[in-house]
Each structure stands twice: as structure tokens, then as C-alpha cells.
Amino acid sequence: MSTSLRRLIWISAVVVGGCSGQVLPQVPNDGDGPQPELFSIVRCQDPSACSQTNGTGVYFEELGAAGLGADSNEALITHFINNNGLSVSFQARVHDTVGSGNLVYTTGQVTYAVYNGVQYQVTAIGTNGGTYPYVTLKNQNGTITVWGYYFTNLTLYVSLSAPTKAQYALSFGPSWSAANYDQGVGNAGHGTVDYKWDMYWRDLLNPGSAAQPYCKRAPSVDGNGNTVQLDDSVVFQAGIAVDPQTGHVGANASFVTMSCRYGAPATAYWWGYDHASDLWHFAAAIHMKRASYCGDGGFHTVSGTHIDIQDEAYIEGATSLGGIKIADSAVEAMWTPNGARCYSQPRRPDLKDKGVTVFAGSCGGQALQPCPSVVPTIQSAQVNNTNALVDGVVAQP
């Protein structure tokens, strides 16, 4: 199988419940049904539907973690919010340890920054349109823009007032090198780059506390047979917010999402699906990455699984109809920004053995139909100027 068609994906193995509430602008659904809500900025109304985890393979890798605080899932930053060039806040999903014990959404503040030893107000966080970030700083001497290359000299100070008070210092590394970016794997003309930085947090309300990594990958076994959990990096993507439970995407020019490199937003971009210019494929690819057929907190895959990918725009897979390699018998599902529009078979046969729920074949009590043939589906999307995204199962290494 051509390596250009086979993509390694990293998926979560935790099922969570959803919460409903405020709705952000959604991706056009191309006629694939109503758009689900993005996510709430309020406490879950039904505690039994709330989760004690902050991820389902969306913001970080399967069995990994991301967050600020003594518990590595204490406070997950979902996105920064630019406030008209005056200040920057952020949304976080936080454990309400003094109240219900559930996860709640809250808004924090980027209170100030220190760059090269000088204190500044933070007035904007953004990217170059892709994933290369910048921070705009201001003090009595003027305004400067600090690009990612110089982030090792930058510390951001952030605070939360609810559900409990918290203050953290966020620092970045390593010094600029090839380790700071992953070249994307999309076809020619669809090149993307995941620029990434290790980010560390330090608890300012706990004097003497050491800096801790914000993102952690899933536990793995090193060459000596020891179980280790490596650090992961953060990736910035402007103009979107992503639901940390369901993976649904909302567009907002004021938002800058920050996720871990092996989470879904950074992986979808690495595949070549650019959130800035092609939100449909990007949003659909997030569900595909997680095998989230219903586009909810459920998913049906494990970390390290390979798949083949094909779309009508030839971003991934073959670049002609005649070159398409995914056989009809190998199709897993066809994807939309709402989840799968059809389903033919599980991604791998050993999900139950790995502790992952096997998909029952229906969403909301309605069975998903088997998928049609690949080539006519791709061709129809091209002729009708619509979208198509297909993945195929492959033998796992």
C-alpha cells in the first residue's frame, strides 16, 4: 500500500457524555442533516451525563492528558479569545472540585506576559493563517509582535477565578530547531506544517512548584521494557473552536484553539485538511480520526491504528479516479462534519480485546446504511461540486 495513502492516527479510548448550551457558528453541513450544538459555557444540567475526563482523542492522544493543575486534567484550555485588540481571555474546561465534582466551562484571563525580562500587556494571540503562532504585546514603550521562533523567551501569566481561583505561568521550549515542526502529508499543492512547542505550566499559588508539561502522550513502552509517558507539544490554530467531547468544530475569527500535537485538530491539519480554507474536510477529518461515527463522545478505535484516506479534492489518497486504491470491500465509513453518513465495517477487529466499545451500527436509534462504491461517490462529489471523505481499513502493523 502506498505510504501516501496510509496515515497513522492517534485516537482516544474514553467515552464521555455531552452537555448542551450556547451554540457557535457551525460548518456548512452539505445537506448531511442538522448541525449539533458545539458546546456549553455552563455547567452540565445532568450530572450523570457529565464526564470526569477532559478528552476523547480530541485535544490529546488516547490515554494521554492535557491541562493545568495538580491533576493533569484539572483545567483544559480549549481556545484563546481575542477581545478587539484590548486583551486576551481563554475558555477552559475545569473540574469543579469544590462544587458538583463535574467538568464545567469557565473563562480565564491572560493577565500579562514577560518577554526578555520585560513585562507587557497581552493584546492578541494569533497565527500566520496556518499553525505558526504569534503574541502581540504592549507596554508604555509601544507594541511588539513575538513570533513562535522567539517563544522560548516568552512567559504568559494566566488566571482563573471560577470555580476556584488559580494562577499559572506558561513557558515554552525547546529552542528553535527541526523539532518545532512536522511537515504535513497531504498531496502536492496541499502542504501543511504543524508548528509545535512544548509548553509548561507552573502553579503560582503554590510557591516553589516546578514547571510541569501541559501535554502528555499515551503511556508507551521504551526500548528497555519500561512504561513511560512522553511529553507532547501544543499547536495553535486560529479561527476555530473545537468541542473537547464531541470534536465538533465552530468558526469564530476571535478564537485561537490550542491542542496537543497528537490530538485531532493538529492531526487533521497535518493530513492536509486546512481549517482556514477548507473547514468541511477539516471538521469531517476530526470525526474520521476518532472513528466517531455518530459525531458525539463515542469513538471506536485505538492509538496507533492505520487507515487509508481518500477525498474528492485529492488532498489525500490518489490524485485521479483511476488511481483510487481503497476497494469497496475495504471501506470503513464515509465522513461529514457531523460524523459518518454511512458505515460498512469496524476499523479493526480487535477493539473489544483492547477495551474499546464496538460500534453497534446506529446513531440515535437509526441504523447507518452500508457505504456505496468509492469511485462513483468521489466522482459524483466532483461533478456536483460537493464533498466526500472516505477511509478504508488496512492490515495493522
**What separation in angstroms does the CA of 145 have from each of 137, 149, 239, 254, 259?**
6, 11, 19, 17, 22
Q: Which residues contact 29 (CB under 8 A, 6 or more apart)?
A: 35, 336, 337, 338
Tally the domains of the chain. 1
25 versus 103: the higher-pLDDT residue is: 103
pLDDT the model gives residue 39 = 31
164 versus 79: the higher-pLDDT residue is: 79
For residues 359 and 362, give the distance between their C-alpha atoms in angstroms, rounded to a whole number: 8
SS3 category, 368? coil
pLDDT the model gives residue 8 = 53
267 in any annotated domain: yes
332 in any annotated domain: no
Q: For residue 264, give its domain range.
A: 17-290
226 in any annotated domain: yes
Residue 91 neighbours by CB distance under 10 Å: 21
382 in any annotated domain: no
Please state the pTM of the whole predicted model: 0.87
Query: Which tens digits make up the pLDDT trace of 302-361?
Result: 888 899 999 999 999 999 999 999 999 999 999 999 999 999 999 999 989 888 889 999
281 versus 52: the higher-pLDDT residue is: 281
Which amino acid is residue 293, in one-letter code?
A: Y
For residues 318 and 227, give the distance between their C-alpha atoms in angstroms, rounded to a whole number: 38
b/e per residue 190-221 (b: at least 16 CB within 10 A): bebebbbbbbbbbbeeeeeeeebbbbbbbeee
Query: Which tens digits make up the pLDDT trace of 370-384?
Result: 999 999 999 999 999
What mean pLDDT do residues 44-52 have? 31
For residues 141 and 156, give the distance between their C-alpha atoms in angstroms, rounded to a whole number: 19
Query: Which tens digits make up the pLDDT trace of 4-41?
Result: 334 555 433 222 223 333 333 333 334 333 333 333 22
SS3 category, 394? coil
371 in any annotated domain: no
Name the grid cell of 121: 500587556
Q: Does 293 score more than 90 pLDDT? A: yes
Query: Which tens digits make up the pLDDT trace of 179-206?
Result: 899 999 999 999 999 999 999 999 999 9
307 in any annotated domain: no
207 in any annotated domain: yes
Q: What percentage of the chain carries pLDDT values higher than 70?
A: 85
Query: Which tens digits make up the pLDDT trace of 201-237?
Result: 999 999 899 999 999 987 788 899 998 889 999 999 9
> Quick one: pLDDT band at residue 365, thresholds 50, 70, 90?
very high
Which amino acid is residue 376, in one-letter code?
A: P
pLDDT the model gives residue 301 = 87
327 in any annotated domain: no
